[in-house]
Structure 1
Amino acid sequence: MLKKILGSIGLAVLLPLGCLAQISEGTKQSIATGKGLNVPRSGVFWTSPTEQPGVIGDFYIDSLWRDGDVKLVKPVAQIGGLESDTIAGVEIRYNVLNDELEVLADKAKKDIRVIRGSQLKSFKTNNGLGEVEYVNLASFDPNGEAKGFGAVLASGKITFARVYKTKITKPNYNPGFGTGEKNTVVRLTTDYYLLSGSGVQKISLSKKSLLAAMADKKQEVEQYLKESNPDLKDEAQVASLIQFYNSK
């Protein structure tokens, strides 16, 4: 409990203004609908969640608040003046559309703060079935240009991740006929990536794509495929293949 209290206090006080540097898709949507930019509250370095008027659909990897830990790109001052790149024991959820990690700073007051995705290296949550780590693709990109967060399915020399993206459908309402959708509709989609020190590589769950990505151990991988005959459309079985590759 003490850890959670201290973490929540830290949320309200000390985070750099750099967390507000990038404009998210949700904020752009707010600008387009006349809501303007979302600005920091007085006296704190955290913003409130970006408003999304006229936008409906799926925004969160998991819409429920989950206990989690956060790893920041750079250390920041915490309680007592010490610097740390970790905030532990807080309730969080990730908004894919806005690229914002929402933090429940005070449940009773419904006080929600956010950390911009550009300031996050990774975060972990427990979804009730076990702990899941989400990593920032930019951390694996030498140019830091890759976007999005992925759930780690296998890790080691290469990391296999399910990465979440948004598919946005613009309004197509026809007032003359009274048909179509008046709102912007958001849906989540997923892609698969291999992450390593050499960069970020999007893959398909197919033998051809996977063999190309693991060409340096092609013989061992082909032998594994022959003996195990995994279903390469099943991400769990692909994760086992990646773990095999990482063990060699």
Structure 2
Amino acid sequence: MPSFTAVVRITGAGRLADFRERLRWLMVRDADAEEYTEHHAPGMLEYRFAPKKGIPFPAFTSASSDFPELRVEAEWEHDGVRGRALIENGRLVPQAPELLGEAQVDVTVAQDGRLVLGMACAVQDGAVIGYAAGAERHSYFRFRDGALSLIDPDAPDEALEEVAFAFVEEWLWYDEEEAALERARYANYGCEVRGANVKSEKLSVLREGGLRFSSLDAACAPAREALLAQWLNRS
């Protein structure tokens, strides 16, 4: 079974047939386009993917700019991580990702694309547990009663690994990986590849949307502040 599946639906009171032809024209000319199947119904276009490289957002975004009256909605699941995005009038509007196990995410990048801090966490037995990465370091952690405990990256338990692996699959790639497509996209963006990097599709959205995405609630937000003060910014 594929570990990455995606569905893109186009709806609205507009020119669906023209959108379909425009998208087909764009996909044929996109060297990175994935194979897909079409499952249309009256008043709706539906495209299904089992991506190897990622969802072809550029083609859908370009087509959307030509048909602003239509709504483009993408949903996907990638190794336990569910995500959703809307494309309206040629602009990608990211929605909060959903990690299995009620995990939460916070990712901040610098203007040059450098990963400042990416983290995923969940509440377990009264403590916040999770995984954090900067451009040049990473660690598992537990946060309880205001105290931060760092856990060696080589010694996580199953719960920590579950949170981390889902987060990494959705958001990050590492310099030790071959990742030819990510390297090419980073070169096109003019961004330097570092030890840990945000996946290019996410990076593009973050750079257009204020450089930070967060779904942390009041229970998990203090863990981020502790990571910044006691780990990331520690000399």
- Structures share a fold, TM > 0.5? no
The structure that has the greater radius of gyration is 1
TM-score in terms of structure 1 length: 0.27
TM-score in terms of structure 2 length: 0.28
